[in-house]
Every structure is written in C-alpha cells, then in structure tokens.
Amino acid sequence: MRRIIRILRNLALLLIAAVVVLAGVLGVNALMRTSRQIDVAAAPRAGVDTDAASKRLAEAIRFRTISNFLDPEQNADAFRGMQAFMQASYPAFHAATKLEVVGNLGLLYAWEGSDPKAAPIALLAHQDVVPIAPGTEGNWQVPPFDGVVRDGFIWGRGSWDDKGNLFAILEAAEQLIKEGFRPKRTIYFAFGQDEEVSGQRGAKQIAALLASRGIKLDFVLDEGLLITDGIMKGIDKPIALIGVAEKGYVTLTLNLAATPGHSSMPPRQSAIGMMSAALARLEDQRFPAEIRGTVREMFDTLAPEIHAQPRRVVEPVAAQAGAAT
C-alpha cells in the first residue's frame, strides 16, 4: 500500500513538473514573439482627397456592370459608361499610361518604368459585379446601385468587390503621377470585365496577350480580402487579411439506375435512399483541417498583437466575409 502511495506521489510530482515546464516554454514563447507590424504612419502615402475619392467610387457603383457568362454584350453600355467615367476622372493616369482594350471590354494599361531591365508587375481588379438575387432588393439597407455615401461608408454592390479595389488603384496612381512619380519597373493594370463569370473574355485574354509578347511579371497583385474588425479574440486593431490563393470548385453530376416499381411495394433500397447515401459519403470526404504554411504564418503574425493572456490561446471566431470574390 505504502509503495503504491509513493508511486502515485512521484507520478503527481512528475506531472506538476511537466506542467510547470510546459507553462514556462509557452510563456517564454509568447514573450519572444515580437510584432511584425510596420509603422504605417511613417510610410509614404499619396495625398488622396478621400471625400472626392469616395464620391468617385460611389459614382462607379451606379454603373450596373453585371457580367453575364453567355452574353458578352449584356450591360455593355454600363461598362462603357464606367470606362468613360474612369477616363474623365483620372486624366493624369490616362495620359501617363498606354491603354489596350482586350476582349471587347477588358482594359490593359501599361505605365512604363524608367528601368527597362526591371521585371514588370501587374495590378489587377475587375470591373464587373454579380447581380442581385431576384426578390431580395428589399433586403438591402441602401439600394444596391444607388452609390450612397453615408455614416462613413460607401454603400452598394461592388463597393469592395471589386470597384473599391479598382478605384483605389486609379486614385493612388493618379495622385502619384501628379506628384511626378515614375516607377522603376513597368506596371501593368489589368481590369477584366467578367471575373465573376470565369474571366474567359478578360483576364484569360489579357494573360494570353502578355504571354504572346514574352512578358514575364515579377508579381501580380489581385483583389484580396477585407480589413476586418473583431474576427480574432484579443485583438482590438483591425486585421487586414491577405488572400494568397483562391479555392477552386468542382461540379459533379451523380447518376444512378434503380429498378422501377410501385410505391405500394417499395424495394429495400430506393433510388432516393441510394442517392442520399452517395451524397452523404461525398460530404464526408473533406480535406483535413490543418494549421500550416500560410495559415500558420498568419497566426504567427497575429500572435504578438494579442493583448489578452494567455497569448497561446488563439481562437478564431466566425469570419465575417463570405461573399464571392
């Protein structure tokens, strides 16, 4: 009996020691993490007039540039209207760059750099938006295509996906050109017209055109995610999410043949049951959830910003943004 007590006591001591060591390691680990944030206030910035810029984006929202997978001409007037508005609003940009229209409504601008040996880059944004689901017009706090600036927000379809991006790029470039800036490397601006319906006429053709000229881009910056508020417990500051990839998708058609019969004498296995079982099996085949690669890097970047103790508890809450990109 005494031997058992001694063993139990030793085990308890060992357990306590292990917990102390683990807490120490985690504590040191948490303290060792230093913020990776850059000093945003110290970064050079273009003096964009935010009020005027907001009004321009609001105006852009009023053009109903809804793309259609089958009909490239649907809403072509809205696209052309918005393009004319871009031309009128950003004269310095249009004077400094060379524009090529690709695939009828796609736009490819080139801003030539001062160093012809420097590899070019491309900034991407799409002009089109998705339609409004019929019958949901009344659910909008502000009508989707009115382009209203209210309470510090620009409201409407496309305000962030992706006219916000498109017009932010134009605002920044216009201002930089006015300030006499010229990039060292050539910058391409590729503004497709059908990203929401696969990008066959816009992005694909622009990419093919650049490839046919042997142009190799050093990097491409496309629409990303949002600057979010409150998605991570313990971080009060807004978090800018950087999208480094986009999920693909697959469409499957499931067919099955079953023996027909009368419903008064149903077979043990009906077509509905078999199809349901197949669908349920399909749903079970998910990728395992893992924290590695860029996801891990995201948590490593966020960890030092968490003020609540203990920092090692990083608990994501439901993401706010679920819209298509």
Q: Which of 127, 126, 150 is nearest to 140 (CA)?
A: 150
The catalytically annotated residue of 174, 195, 196, 222 is 195
Looking only at the bridges linking them, the beta strands covering 220-221 and 121-126 are: parallel
Q: How far is the CB of 195 from Zn ion (least distance, A)?
A: 6
Q: How far is the CB of 96 from Zn ion (least distance, A)?
A: 26
Q: How far is the CB of 324 from Zn ion (least distance, A)?
A: 7
The catalytically annotated residue of 128, 171, 174, 222 is 128
C-beta closer to Zn ion: residue 171 or 194:
194
Contact by Cβ (8 Å): 202, 195 = yes
Active-site residue, 128 included: yes
C-beta closer to Zn ion: residue 165 or 186:
165
Q: How far is the CB of 126 from Zn ion (least distance, A)?
A: 6
Query: How many other C-beta atoms lie within 10 A of the C-beta of residue 165?
Result: 20
Q: How far apart are CA 302 and CA 79, in angstroms?
A: 40
C-beta closer to Zn ion: residue 86 or 129:
129
Query: Which residue ranges make up the site for Zn ion (CB under 5 A)?
Result: 161-162, 223, 325
The DSSP string of 227-267 is EESS-BTT--S-EE----------------------TTS--
Q: How far is the CB of 250 from Zn ion (least distance, A)?
A: 20
C-beta closer to Zn ion: residue 75 or 175:
75
Tokens of 263: 């419903």
State the DSSP code for 204.
Answer: H
Q: How far is the CB of 27 from Zn ion (least distance, A)?
A: 42
Helix (H) or strand (E) run with residue 125 in it: strand 121-126
Tokens of 233: 């417990």
Contact by Cβ (8 Å): 90, 174 = yes
C-beta closer to Zn ion: residue 198 or 269:
198
Q: How far apart are CA 210 and CA 281, in angstroms?
A: 44
C-beta closer to Zn ion: residue 161 or 194:
161
How distant is the alpha carbon of residue 36 from its chain centre?
Answer: 21
Q: How far apart are CA 206 and CA 219, in angstroms?
A: 15
Q: What are the beta bridge partners of residue 125?
A: 191
Q: What are the beta bridge partners of residue 122?
A: 188, 220
Q: List, by residue number, the catalytic residues.
A: 128, 195
